[in-house]
Structure 1
Protein backbone atom coordinates (compact mmCIF):
# COMPACT_ATOMS: atom_id res chain seq x y z
CA UNK A 1 0.00 0.00 0.00
CA UNK A 2 1.22 3.50 -0.80
CA UNK A 3 2.33 5.77 2.04
CA UNK A 4 0.39 9.04 2.43
CA UNK A 5 2.49 11.93 1.12
CA UNK A 6 2.79 15.28 2.89
CA UNK A 7 4.54 18.54 2.16
CA UNK A 8 7.92 19.55 3.56
CA UNK A 9 6.24 22.61 5.07
CA UNK A 10 4.39 20.33 7.49
CA UNK A 11 7.58 19.13 9.16
CA UNK A 12 8.13 20.24 12.78
CA UNK A 13 10.22 23.40 12.88
CA UNK A 14 13.04 21.53 14.65
CA UNK A 15 13.28 19.05 11.77
CA UNK A 16 13.23 21.80 9.18
CA UNK A 17 15.97 23.66 11.09
CA UNK A 18 18.06 20.47 11.21
CA UNK A 19 17.73 20.07 7.45
CA UNK A 20 18.78 23.66 6.85
CA UNK A 21 21.85 23.10 9.02
CA UNK A 22 23.04 20.95 6.09
CA UNK A 23 21.58 22.88 3.18
CA UNK A 24 21.32 26.47 4.30
CA UNK A 25 17.97 28.30 3.95
CA UNK A 26 15.83 26.62 1.31
CA UNK A 27 15.02 28.71 -1.72
CA UNK A 28 12.78 26.28 -3.62
CA UNK A 29 10.89 23.11 -2.68
CA UNK A 30 9.45 20.91 -5.44
CA UNK A 31 7.34 18.04 -4.14
CA UNK A 32 7.98 14.76 -5.97
CA UNK A 33 4.86 12.79 -6.93
CA UNK A 34 6.64 9.52 -7.75
CA UNK A 35 7.33 6.78 -5.23
CA UNK A 36 5.22 5.00 -2.65
CA UNK A 37 7.45 4.52 0.40
CA UNK A 38 8.05 8.06 1.67
CA UNK A 39 5.87 10.56 3.50
CA UNK A 40 8.29 13.32 2.48
CA UNK A 41 9.74 13.38 -1.05
CA UNK A 42 10.97 16.67 -2.46
CA UNK A 43 13.69 18.25 -4.55
CA UNK A 44 15.04 21.30 -2.72
CA UNK A 45 17.52 24.01 -3.56
CA UNK A 46 19.46 26.53 -1.52
CA UNK A 47 22.30 28.90 -2.25
CA UNK A 48 24.73 26.01 -1.74
CA UNK A 49 23.19 23.20 -3.79
CA UNK A 50 20.30 20.90 -4.69
CA UNK A 51 19.14 17.74 -2.91
CA UNK A 52 16.43 15.14 -3.04
CA UNK A 53 14.92 14.60 0.42
CA UNK A 54 13.13 11.42 1.49
CA UNK A 55 11.55 11.13 4.91
CA UNK A 56 9.39 9.09 7.24
CA UNK A 57 8.27 9.49 10.81
CA UNK A 58 10.48 7.39 13.08
CA UNK A 59 7.42 5.48 14.31
CA UNK A 60 6.14 4.74 10.80
CA UNK A 61 5.62 1.01 10.06
CA UNK A 62 8.07 1.33 7.17
CA UNK A 63 10.73 3.24 9.10
CA UNK A 64 13.05 0.34 8.34
CA UNK A 65 13.17 1.47 4.69
CA UNK A 66 15.01 4.63 5.72
CA UNK A 67 17.56 2.61 7.69
CA UNK A 68 18.04 0.27 4.73
CA UNK A 69 18.65 3.11 2.29
CA UNK A 70 21.04 4.88 4.65
CA UNK A 71 23.03 1.67 5.19
CA UNK A 72 23.34 0.73 1.53
CA UNK A 73 23.79 4.15 -0.10
CA UNK A 74 27.55 4.48 0.58
CA UNK A 75 28.13 1.16 -1.19
CA UNK A 76 26.40 2.04 -4.47
CA UNK A 77 29.01 4.16 -6.25
CA UNK A 78 27.90 4.99 -9.82
CA UNK A 79 24.68 2.99 -9.42
CA UNK A 80 22.63 5.39 -7.31
CA UNK A 81 22.58 8.97 -6.02
CA UNK A 82 25.01 9.66 -3.19
CA UNK A 83 23.63 10.15 0.32
CA UNK A 84 24.90 13.56 1.46
CA UNK A 85 23.38 13.80 4.94
CA UNK A 86 20.86 12.31 7.36
CA UNK A 87 18.70 14.04 9.97
CA UNK A 88 16.99 12.16 12.79
CA UNK A 89 15.15 14.60 15.04
CA UNK A 90 11.69 15.70 16.20
CA UNK A 91 10.25 12.29 15.36
CA UNK A 92 11.48 12.33 11.75
CA UNK A 93 14.15 10.46 9.77
CA UNK A 94 15.19 12.47 6.71
CA UNK A 95 17.72 11.50 4.04
CA UNK A 96 19.35 14.10 1.79
CA UNK A 97 20.49 12.60 -1.52
CA UNK A 98 22.43 14.02 -4.44
CA UNK A 99 19.81 15.42 -6.84
CA UNK A 100 20.13 13.62 -10.14
CA UNK A 101 19.46 15.18 -13.52
CA UNK A 102 17.69 13.28 -16.27
CA UNK A 103 14.31 11.71 -16.90
CA UNK A 104 12.48 8.61 -15.74
CA UNK A 105 13.34 5.71 -18.01
CA UNK A 106 10.96 5.00 -20.87
CA UNK A 107 10.38 1.24 -21.06
CA UNK A 108 8.20 1.32 -24.20
CA UNK A 109 9.22 -0.84 -27.18
CA UNK A 110 11.86 0.94 -29.23
CA UNK A 111 12.83 3.37 -26.48
CA UNK A 112 16.46 4.56 -26.60
CA UNK A 113 16.51 4.16 -22.80
CA UNK A 114 16.34 0.35 -22.95
CA UNK A 115 20.05 -0.19 -23.74
CA UNK A 116 20.95 2.23 -20.93
CA UNK A 117 18.87 0.25 -18.43
CA UNK A 118 20.44 -3.00 -19.63
CA UNK A 119 23.89 -1.49 -19.07
CA UNK A 120 22.84 -0.37 -15.60
CA UNK A 121 21.67 -3.87 -14.68
CA UNK A 122 24.92 -5.34 -16.01
CA UNK A 123 26.84 -2.97 -13.72
CA UNK A 124 24.62 -3.90 -10.81
CA UNK A 125 25.36 -7.56 -11.48
CA UNK A 126 29.07 -6.84 -11.08
CA UNK A 127 28.60 -5.04 -7.73
CA UNK A 128 29.55 -7.04 -4.62
CA UNK A 129 26.73 -7.61 -2.17
CA UNK A 130 27.45 -5.54 0.95
CA UNK A 131 27.79 -7.18 4.32
CA UNK A 132 24.70 -5.52 5.76
CA UNK A 133 21.42 -7.06 6.84
CA UNK A 134 19.24 -7.69 3.80
CA UNK A 135 16.20 -9.84 3.30
CA UNK A 136 16.66 -12.87 1.09
CA UNK A 137 14.75 -13.30 -2.17
CA UNK A 138 13.43 -16.68 -1.14
CA UNK A 139 12.04 -15.14 2.05
CA UNK A 140 10.25 -12.41 0.15
CA UNK A 141 8.69 -14.90 -2.29
CA UNK A 142 8.00 -17.83 0.02
CA UNK A 143 4.27 -17.11 0.30
CA UNK A 144 3.87 -16.76 -3.46
CA UNK A 145 5.85 -19.64 -4.96
CA UNK A 146 3.72 -22.33 -6.59
CA UNK A 147 5.79 -25.04 -4.91
CA UNK A 148 8.11 -24.83 -1.87
CA UNK A 149 10.93 -26.39 -3.88
CA UNK A 150 10.81 -23.42 -6.28
CA UNK A 151 12.36 -21.17 -3.62
CA UNK A 152 15.74 -22.76 -4.25
CA UNK A 153 15.87 -21.08 -7.65
CA UNK A 154 15.77 -17.65 -6.02
CA UNK A 155 18.60 -18.07 -3.51
CA UNK A 156 22.01 -16.53 -4.05
CA UNK A 157 24.64 -14.12 -2.73
CA UNK A 158 24.03 -11.23 -5.12
CA UNK A 159 22.81 -7.68 -4.52
CA UNK A 160 19.37 -7.01 -6.01
CA UNK A 161 17.27 -3.86 -6.29
CA UNK A 162 13.97 -5.70 -7.01
CA UNK A 163 11.79 -2.62 -7.72
CA UNK A 164 12.40 -1.94 -11.42
CA UNK A 165 9.56 0.56 -11.71
CA UNK A 166 10.65 2.90 -14.51
CA UNK A 167 10.24 5.83 -12.09
CA UNK A 168 13.12 4.33 -10.09
CA UNK A 169 15.50 4.57 -13.07
CA UNK A 170 16.81 8.01 -14.02
CA UNK A 171 18.51 8.42 -17.38
CA UNK A 172 20.81 11.38 -18.07
CA UNK A 173 21.77 11.58 -21.74
CA UNK A 174 24.58 14.01 -20.88
CA UNK A 175 26.34 11.60 -18.50
CA UNK A 176 29.33 9.52 -19.68
CA UNK A 177 28.43 6.55 -21.84
CA UNK A 178 27.84 3.45 -19.74
CA UNK A 179 26.81 5.53 -16.71
CA UNK A 180 23.73 7.33 -18.01
CA UNK A 181 21.19 5.36 -15.96
CA UNK A 182 21.04 5.14 -12.19
CA UNK A 183 18.70 3.47 -9.73
CA UNK A 184 16.90 5.28 -6.92
CA UNK A 185 14.83 3.93 -4.01
CA UNK A 186 16.82 1.03 -2.58
CA UNK A 187 14.39 0.34 0.25
CA UNK A 188 13.70 -3.16 -1.08
CA UNK A 189 17.33 -4.14 -1.66
CA UNK A 190 17.61 -7.91 -1.37
CA UNK A 191 20.15 -10.74 -1.48
CA UNK A 192 19.41 -13.48 -4.01
CA UNK A 193 20.11 -15.09 -7.37
CA UNK A 194 21.90 -12.76 -9.77
CA UNK A 195 19.30 -13.05 -12.54
CA UNK A 196 16.28 -11.94 -10.53
CA UNK A 197 16.52 -8.21 -11.30
CA UNK A 198 16.38 -9.01 -15.01
CA UNK A 199 13.25 -11.00 -14.21
CA UNK A 200 11.69 -8.12 -12.31
CA UNK A 201 12.48 -5.90 -15.30
CA UNK A 202 10.61 -8.30 -17.60
CA UNK A 203 7.36 -7.65 -15.73
CA UNK A 204 7.70 -3.88 -16.01
CA UNK A 205 8.62 -4.17 -19.69
CA UNK A 206 5.48 -6.18 -20.41
CA UNK A 207 3.47 -3.60 -18.47
CA UNK A 208 5.00 -0.94 -20.76
CA UNK A 209 3.80 -2.69 -23.92
CA UNK A 210 6.36 -5.38 -24.72
CA UNK A 211 5.37 -8.92 -25.59
CA UNK A 212 6.78 -11.51 -23.19
CA UNK A 213 9.23 -12.59 -25.90
CA UNK A 214 10.43 -9.01 -26.42
CA UNK A 215 10.79 -8.48 -22.67
CA UNK A 216 12.82 -11.67 -22.32
CA UNK A 217 14.97 -10.56 -25.24
CA UNK A 218 15.96 -7.49 -23.21
CA UNK A 219 16.50 -9.60 -20.10
CA UNK A 220 18.92 -11.69 -22.16
CA UNK A 221 21.11 -8.58 -22.48
CA UNK A 222 22.00 -9.17 -18.82
CA UNK A 223 24.69 -11.90 -18.54
CA UNK A 224 23.25 -13.33 -15.33
CA UNK A 225 19.96 -14.11 -17.10
CA UNK A 226 21.76 -16.93 -18.90
CA UNK A 227 22.59 -18.59 -15.58
CA UNK A 228 18.89 -19.08 -14.79
CA UNK A 229 17.37 -22.51 -15.48
CA UNK A 230 14.23 -22.30 -17.61
CA UNK A 231 12.17 -23.91 -14.86
CA UNK A 232 13.51 -21.32 -12.41
CA UNK A 233 12.34 -18.45 -14.63
CA UNK A 234 8.92 -20.06 -14.91
CA UNK A 235 8.78 -20.48 -11.11
CA UNK A 236 9.70 -16.81 -10.70
CA UNK A 237 6.99 -15.76 -13.16
CA UNK A 238 4.43 -17.84 -11.24
CA UNK A 239 5.44 -16.35 -7.88
CA UNK A 240 5.18 -12.81 -9.22
CA UNK A 241 1.79 -13.49 -10.82
CA UNK A 242 0.57 -14.51 -7.36
CA UNK A 243 2.28 -11.54 -5.70
CA UNK A 244 0.84 -8.92 -8.03
CA UNK A 245 -2.60 -10.50 -7.87
CA UNK A 246 -2.50 -10.07 -4.10
CA UNK A 247 -1.25 -6.47 -4.40
CA UNK A 248 -4.00 -5.58 -6.88
CA UNK A 249 -6.67 -7.17 -4.69
CA UNK A 250 -5.48 -5.21 -1.64
CA UNK A 251 -4.94 -1.95 -3.53
CA UNK A 252 -7.05 -1.93 -6.71
CA UNK A 253 -5.66 0.84 -8.86
CA UNK A 254 -4.87 1.17 -12.57
CA UNK A 255 -1.14 0.72 -12.03
CA UNK A 256 -1.48 -2.38 -9.82
CA UNK A 257 -3.91 -3.93 -12.33
CA UNK A 258 -1.42 -3.18 -15.12
CA UNK A 259 1.36 -4.98 -13.26
CA UNK A 260 -0.88 -7.88 -12.23
CA UNK A 261 -1.93 -8.32 -15.85
CA UNK A 262 1.69 -8.17 -17.02
CA UNK A 263 2.82 -10.76 -14.48
CA UNK A 264 -0.06 -13.09 -15.39
CA UNK A 265 0.68 -12.64 -19.10
CA UNK A 266 4.34 -13.54 -18.55
CA UNK A 267 3.45 -16.62 -16.50
CA UNK A 268 1.03 -17.80 -19.20
CA UNK A 269 3.76 -17.32 -21.81
CA UNK A 270 6.23 -19.34 -19.73
CA UNK A 271 3.74 -22.20 -19.33
CA UNK A 272 2.81 -22.38 -23.00
CA UNK A 273 5.91 -21.06 -24.74
Structure 2
Protein backbone atom coordinates (compact mmCIF):
# COMPACT_ATOMS: atom_id res chain seq x y z
CA UNK A 1 0.00 0.00 0.00
CA UNK A 2 1.25 3.48 -0.87
CA UNK A 3 2.45 5.89 1.80
CA UNK A 4 3.29 9.56 1.54
CA UNK A 5 6.73 11.03 2.02
CA UNK A 6 6.12 11.66 5.72
CA UNK A 7 6.64 7.91 6.19
CA UNK A 8 10.31 8.20 5.23
CA UNK A 9 12.90 8.71 7.98
CA UNK A 10 14.76 12.00 7.85
CA UNK A 11 17.99 10.11 7.07
CA UNK A 12 16.42 8.64 3.91
CA UNK A 13 15.13 11.99 2.70
CA UNK A 14 18.58 13.47 3.28
CA UNK A 15 20.18 10.73 1.15
CA UNK A 16 17.65 11.31 -1.64
CA UNK A 17 18.34 15.06 -1.48
CA UNK A 18 22.03 14.34 -1.92
CA UNK A 19 21.38 12.06 -4.88
CA UNK A 20 19.22 14.58 -6.79
CA UNK A 21 21.55 17.49 -6.04
CA UNK A 22 19.48 19.52 -3.59
CA UNK A 23 15.92 20.45 -2.70
CA UNK A 24 13.33 18.58 -4.76
CA UNK A 25 9.64 18.26 -5.57
CA UNK A 26 7.92 14.87 -5.55
CA UNK A 27 4.86 13.94 -7.64
CA UNK A 28 3.32 10.56 -6.68
CA UNK A 29 2.77 8.02 -9.45
CA UNK A 30 -0.90 7.48 -10.30
CA UNK A 31 -0.63 3.70 -10.73
CA UNK A 32 0.86 0.70 -8.95
CA UNK A 33 1.20 -0.19 -5.29
CA UNK A 34 4.19 -2.50 -4.84
CA UNK A 35 6.47 0.07 -3.20
CA UNK A 36 5.40 2.31 -0.34
CA UNK A 37 6.84 5.31 -2.18
CA UNK A 38 6.74 5.75 -5.96
CA UNK A 39 7.18 9.28 -7.25
CA UNK A 40 8.74 11.43 -9.91
CA UNK A 41 11.33 13.47 -8.05
CA UNK A 42 12.60 16.66 -9.66
CA UNK A 43 15.71 18.31 -8.26
CA UNK A 44 18.63 20.34 -9.60
CA UNK A 45 19.95 17.34 -11.55
CA UNK A 46 16.60 16.81 -13.33
CA UNK A 47 13.75 14.31 -12.92
CA UNK A 48 14.28 10.80 -11.60
CA UNK A 49 11.73 8.15 -10.68
CA UNK A 50 12.11 7.07 -7.07
CA UNK A 51 10.76 3.95 -5.41
CA UNK A 52 11.25 3.23 -1.73
CA UNK A 53 10.17 0.17 0.23
CA UNK A 54 10.40 -1.27 3.71
CA UNK A 55 9.11 -4.58 5.01
CA UNK A 56 9.79 -8.03 3.59
CA UNK A 57 7.42 -7.99 0.58
CA UNK A 58 8.10 -4.42 -0.51
CA UNK A 59 11.88 -4.80 -0.33
CA UNK A 60 11.77 -8.18 -2.07
CA UNK A 61 9.80 -6.86 -5.04
CA UNK A 62 12.03 -3.80 -5.33
CA UNK A 63 15.11 -6.05 -5.33
CA UNK A 64 13.56 -7.89 -8.27
CA UNK A 65 13.31 -4.60 -10.13
CA UNK A 66 16.96 -3.87 -9.36
CA UNK A 67 17.96 -7.30 -10.65
CA UNK A 68 16.04 -6.78 -13.89
CA UNK A 69 18.17 -3.75 -14.75
CA UNK A 70 21.15 -6.13 -14.79
CA UNK A 71 19.39 -8.80 -16.88
CA UNK A 72 17.46 -6.79 -19.49
CA UNK A 73 18.64 -4.07 -21.86
CA UNK A 74 16.55 -1.34 -23.51
CA UNK A 75 13.16 -1.90 -21.94
CA UNK A 76 13.33 -1.27 -18.16
CA UNK A 77 14.16 2.24 -16.95
CA UNK A 78 17.91 2.65 -16.47
CA UNK A 79 19.21 2.54 -12.92
CA UNK A 80 20.59 5.87 -11.66
CA UNK A 81 21.35 5.03 -8.04
CA UNK A 82 20.16 3.01 -5.04
CA UNK A 83 20.89 2.76 -1.33
CA UNK A 84 19.62 1.24 1.91
CA UNK A 85 19.11 3.20 5.12
CA UNK A 86 17.08 2.72 8.30
CA UNK A 87 15.29 -0.34 6.97
CA UNK A 88 14.39 1.22 3.61
CA UNK A 89 15.56 0.24 0.14
CA UNK A 90 15.49 3.26 -2.19
CA UNK A 91 15.96 3.09 -5.94
CA UNK A 92 16.27 5.97 -8.40
CA UNK A 93 15.77 5.20 -12.08
CA UNK A 94 15.49 7.01 -15.38
CA UNK A 95 12.31 9.06 -15.60
CA UNK A 96 10.32 7.87 -18.62
CA UNK A 97 7.91 10.33 -20.23
CA UNK A 98 5.27 9.22 -22.70
CA UNK A 99 1.78 7.86 -23.19
CA UNK A 100 0.53 4.38 -22.44
CA UNK A 101 -0.04 2.34 -25.61
CA UNK A 102 -3.34 1.68 -27.32
CA UNK A 103 -3.83 -2.09 -27.47
CA UNK A 104 -6.95 -2.03 -29.63
CA UNK A 105 -7.09 -4.06 -32.86
CA UNK A 106 -5.07 -2.43 -35.63
CA UNK A 107 -3.31 0.05 -33.35
CA UNK A 108 0.24 0.91 -34.49
CA UNK A 109 1.30 0.56 -30.86
CA UNK A 110 0.86 -3.19 -31.25
CA UNK A 111 3.89 -3.19 -33.55
CA UNK A 112 5.95 -1.68 -30.74
CA UNK A 113 4.70 -4.36 -28.39
CA UNK A 114 5.55 -7.06 -30.92
CA UNK A 115 9.14 -5.85 -31.18
CA UNK A 116 9.55 -5.73 -27.40
CA UNK A 117 8.02 -9.16 -26.89
CA UNK A 118 10.22 -10.78 -29.54
CA UNK A 119 13.25 -9.56 -27.61
CA UNK A 120 11.91 -10.52 -24.20
CA UNK A 121 10.90 -13.98 -25.40
CA UNK A 122 14.62 -14.60 -25.93
CA UNK A 123 15.74 -13.19 -22.56
CA UNK A 124 16.84 -15.81 -20.02
CA UNK A 125 16.26 -15.34 -16.31
CA UNK A 126 19.69 -15.62 -14.66
CA UNK A 127 19.74 -17.61 -11.45
CA UNK A 128 16.71 -18.54 -9.37
CA UNK A 129 15.91 -15.32 -7.51
CA UNK A 130 12.66 -14.76 -9.41
CA UNK A 131 9.07 -15.78 -8.74
CA UNK A 132 8.05 -19.28 -9.80
CA UNK A 133 4.84 -19.64 -11.83
CA UNK A 134 3.05 -21.00 -8.74
CA UNK A 135 4.37 -18.21 -6.54
CA UNK A 136 3.35 -15.54 -9.02
CA UNK A 137 -0.02 -16.87 -10.19
CA UNK A 138 -1.21 -19.18 -7.44
CA UNK A 139 -1.41 -22.15 -9.80
CA UNK A 140 0.97 -24.10 -11.99
CA UNK A 141 1.36 -26.76 -14.65
CA UNK A 142 4.53 -28.62 -15.69
CA UNK A 143 4.50 -26.78 -19.03
CA UNK A 144 4.67 -23.41 -17.25
CA UNK A 145 8.20 -24.03 -16.05
CA UNK A 146 11.09 -22.69 -18.11
CA UNK A 147 14.07 -20.39 -18.15
CA UNK A 148 12.65 -17.17 -19.64
CA UNK A 149 12.40 -13.91 -17.72
CA UNK A 150 8.69 -13.06 -17.72
CA UNK A 151 7.41 -9.62 -16.70
CA UNK A 152 3.97 -11.16 -16.02
CA UNK A 153 1.99 -7.90 -15.80
CA UNK A 154 2.10 -6.23 -19.21
CA UNK A 155 -0.99 -4.13 -18.65
CA UNK A 156 -0.96 -0.81 -20.52
CA UNK A 157 -0.08 1.22 -17.42
CA UNK A 158 3.24 -0.65 -17.26
CA UNK A 159 4.02 0.18 -20.90
CA UNK A 160 5.24 3.62 -22.00
CA UNK A 161 5.58 4.77 -25.60
CA UNK A 162 8.66 6.98 -25.87
CA UNK A 163 10.36 8.60 -28.89
CA UNK A 164 12.85 5.70 -28.76
CA UNK A 165 10.30 2.89 -28.62
CA UNK A 166 8.29 1.01 -26.05
CA UNK A 167 9.60 0.86 -22.48
CA UNK A 168 8.40 -1.43 -19.71
CA UNK A 169 8.18 -0.49 -16.03
CA UNK A 170 7.23 -2.13 -12.72
CA UNK A 171 9.10 -5.45 -12.78
CA UNK A 172 8.09 -6.35 -9.23
CA UNK A 173 6.44 -9.59 -10.40
CA UNK A 174 9.38 -10.80 -12.52
CA UNK A 175 9.00 -14.56 -12.96
CA UNK A 176 11.14 -17.39 -14.32
CA UNK A 177 8.87 -19.43 -16.57
CA UNK A 178 8.22 -20.79 -20.04
CA UNK A 179 8.08 -18.04 -22.64
CA UNK A 180 4.44 -18.74 -23.56
CA UNK A 181 3.30 -17.77 -20.05
CA UNK A 182 3.98 -14.09 -20.82
CA UNK A 183 1.78 -14.38 -23.91
CA UNK A 184 -1.03 -16.15 -22.07
CA UNK A 185 -1.05 -13.40 -19.46
CA UNK A 186 -1.27 -10.83 -22.24
CA UNK A 187 -4.56 -12.21 -23.57
CA UNK A 188 -6.56 -10.48 -20.84
CA UNK A 189 -5.05 -7.09 -21.68
CA UNK A 190 -5.66 -7.55 -25.39
CA UNK A 191 -9.30 -8.35 -24.65
CA UNK A 192 -9.45 -5.35 -22.32
CA UNK A 193 -8.09 -3.26 -25.20
CA UNK A 194 -10.97 -4.26 -27.46
CA UNK A 195 -9.90 -7.57 -29.04
CA UNK A 196 -12.19 -10.54 -29.04
CA UNK A 197 -10.61 -13.67 -27.61
CA UNK A 198 -10.23 -15.02 -31.14
CA UNK A 199 -8.56 -11.80 -32.34
CA UNK A 200 -6.19 -11.88 -29.35
CA UNK A 201 -5.13 -15.45 -30.12
CA UNK A 202 -4.73 -14.64 -33.80
CA UNK A 203 -2.35 -11.79 -32.89
CA UNK A 204 -0.35 -14.05 -30.61
CA UNK A 205 0.20 -16.64 -33.34
CA UNK A 206 3.13 -14.58 -34.61
CA UNK A 207 5.18 -15.81 -31.63
CA UNK A 208 6.74 -19.29 -31.87
CA UNK A 209 6.29 -19.91 -28.14
CA UNK A 210 2.54 -19.57 -28.62
CA UNK A 211 2.21 -21.81 -31.66
CA UNK A 212 4.18 -24.69 -30.12
CA UNK A 213 2.16 -24.70 -26.89
CA UNK A 214 -0.49 -27.41 -26.93
CA UNK A 215 -4.19 -26.63 -26.87
CA UNK A 216 -4.59 -28.67 -23.69
CA UNK A 217 -2.01 -26.54 -21.89
CA UNK A 218 -3.62 -23.28 -23.02
CA UNK A 219 -7.05 -24.62 -22.05
CA UNK A 220 -5.78 -25.45 -18.57
CA UNK A 221 -4.19 -22.03 -18.15
CA UNK A 222 -7.25 -20.14 -19.40
CA UNK A 223 -9.76 -22.02 -17.24
CA UNK A 224 -7.62 -21.96 -14.09
CA UNK A 225 -6.78 -18.29 -14.42
CA UNK A 226 -10.43 -17.41 -15.03
CA UNK A 227 -11.51 -19.40 -11.98
CA UNK A 228 -8.96 -17.55 -9.88
CA UNK A 229 -10.20 -14.13 -10.95
CA UNK A 230 -13.86 -15.15 -10.61
CA UNK A 231 -13.15 -16.07 -7.00
CA UNK A 232 -11.36 -12.78 -6.41
CA UNK A 233 -14.28 -10.85 -7.91
CA UNK A 234 -16.75 -12.48 -5.51
CA UNK A 235 -14.81 -11.02 -2.60
CA UNK A 236 -13.71 -7.68 -4.01
CA UNK A 237 -15.63 -4.65 -5.28
CA UNK A 238 -12.74 -2.96 -7.10
CA UNK A 239 -13.45 -2.33 -10.78
CA UNK A 240 -10.11 -3.66 -12.05
CA UNK A 241 -10.68 -7.02 -10.33
CA UNK A 242 -14.07 -7.40 -12.00
CA UNK A 243 -12.61 -6.33 -15.34
CA UNK A 244 -9.97 -9.07 -15.11
CA UNK A 245 -12.62 -11.59 -14.10
CA UNK A 246 -14.61 -10.63 -17.21
CA UNK A 247 -11.66 -10.69 -19.61
CA UNK A 248 -10.15 -13.94 -18.33
CA UNK A 249 -13.63 -15.45 -18.34
CA UNK A 250 -14.14 -14.45 -21.97
CA UNK A 251 -10.95 -16.24 -22.93
CA UNK A 252 -11.83 -19.36 -20.93
CA UNK A 253 -15.24 -19.55 -22.64
CA UNK A 254 -13.57 -19.17 -26.02
CA UNK A 255 -11.14 -21.99 -25.25
CA UNK A 256 -13.95 -24.20 -23.95
CA UNK A 257 -15.74 -23.83 -27.28
CA UNK A 258 -12.87 -25.39 -29.17
CA UNK A 259 -10.37 -22.63 -29.91
Normalised by the length of structure 1, the TM-score is 0.88
Where do 1:102-121 residues align within 5 Å? 102-121=98-117
Aligned with residue 84 of structure 1, among 80, 83, 105:
80
1:148 maps to none
SS of the equivalent of 2:179 reads coil
1:192 maps to 177
User: Does residue 137 of structure 1 match 2:141?
Assistant: no
Superposed CA deviations along residues 117-150 of structure 1, whole A, max 9, x for unmatched, are 1211111012222224122224544x546xxxxx
Q: Which runs of 5+ in 1 are unaligned?
A: 146-150
User: Does residue 75 of structure 1 match 2:71?
Assistant: yes
User: Does residue 66 of structure 1 match 2:57?
Assistant: no
**Deviation of the 1:43 alpha carbon:** 0.7
User: Does residue 25 of structure 1 match 2:22?
Assistant: yes
SS of the equivalent of 1:85 reads strand
**Deviation of the 1:221 alpha carbon:** 2.8
Moved more, 196-205 or 247-256: 247-256
Runs of 4+ in 1 over 3 A off after TM superposition: 138-141
Where do 1:242-261 residues align within 5 Å? 242-261=227-246
Q: Structure 1 residues 168 and 198, CA, compared in 2 at 3 Å: closer, same or farther?
A: same
**Cα RMSD after superposing both structures:** 1.8
User: Does residue 54 of structure 1 match 2:48?
Assistant: no
Larger RCO: 1 or 2 (CA < 8 Å, sep 6+): 1
User: Does residue 240 of structure 1 match 2:230?
Assistant: no
**Deviation of the 1:62 alpha carbon:** 3.3
Q: Distance in 2 between matches of 1:21 and 1:240?
A: 45
1:126 maps to 122
**Deviation of the 1:252 alpha carbon:** 2.4
Q: Distance in 2 between matches of 1:266 and 1:44?
A: 40
User: Does residue 157 of structure 1 match 2:142?
Assistant: no
Normalised by the length of structure 2, the TM-score is 0.92
User: Does residue 169 of structure 1 match 2:159?
Assistant: yes
SS of the equivalent of 1:251 reads coil
Where do 1:184-223 residues align within 5 Å? 184-223=169-208
- Would you say the 8 A contact 2:149–2:177 is kept in 1? yes
Superposed CA deviations along residues 164-209 of structure 1, whole A, max 9, x for unmatched, are 111111111x21xxxx112111111111111111111111111222
**Deviation of the 1:82 alpha carbon:** 1.2
Q: Structure 1 residues 79 and 204, CA, compared in 2 at 3 Å: closer, same or farther?
A: same
User: Does residue 12 of structure 1 match 2:9?
Assistant: yes
User: Does residue 93 of structure 1 match 2:83?
Assistant: no
**Deviation of the 1:250 alpha carbon:** 4.1
Q: Distance in 1 between matches of 2:17 and 2:73?
A: 26
Aligned length: 258
Q: Structure 1 residues 260 and 165, CA, compared in 2 at 3 Å: closer, same or farther?
A: same
Q: Structure 1 residues 107 and 130, CA, compared in 2 at 3 Å: closer, same or farther?
A: same
Q: Which runs of 5+ in 2 are unaligned?
A: none
User: Does residue 264 of structure 1 match 2:249?
Assistant: yes
- Would you say the 8 A contact 1:19–1:87 is kept in 2? no
